[in-house]
Amino acid sequence: MIVRHIIEDLESVFESLPESKEFDLAFASYLEDDSGKIEFRTIEAFHWDDDEEFFLVPSGCAKYYSLDPVQFKAADFLTALKNKINTEIEEYCAYARARIKIAKDGSTVSLNSPLWGTGYHENERLLYFYHGKQPNNAT
């Protein structure tokens, strides 16, 4: 998934489910135990680097990247994203900062997982991006 796909997916969900504009934003992954259950982590920041990679940062971790945390609603995230990116960044590969560790020297190390889809959960009022392992029946 690239950044442009995030924008297109959000706009598509907003069109079909207008109330999703007020949903919290998260990324989601299937648990490794093959149970089919999904783990959600809300997002509080995003950024990109010189290696043409774009990252969603989970709640509680923005400080490790010198970013300001924001409690994003989906529409606010889309507006912020559109305001900060240019056409070049739209083509960057998108990742979730899936696991973050702080080394003894204070540096930040992360396992980044590529985003591969978008979904929403009406009951939980979440709009989310899948990352990590895909289920066997994913297309």
Count: domains in the chain: 1
- H/E stretch holding 56 reads strand 53-58
- The residue count of the chain comes to 139
* Domain region containing 43: 3-131
Distance CA 35, CA 55 (A): 27
- Letter for the amino acid at 37? K
Residue 94: other Cβ atoms inside 10 A: 23
**Backbone phi, then psi, for 114, in 5-degree steps?**
-65, 140
Q: What is the pLDDT of residues 16-46, one digit of tens each?
A: 999 999 999 999 988 877 777 888 999 999 9
Residue 89 lies in a domain: yes
Residue 139 lies in a domain: no
Residue 65 lies in a domain: yes
Of 29-38, 59-68, 100-109, 112-121, which gets the smallest average pLDDT?
29-38
Residue 13 lies in a domain: yes
Residue 8 lies in a domain: yes
Threshold 0.85, pTM exceeds: yes
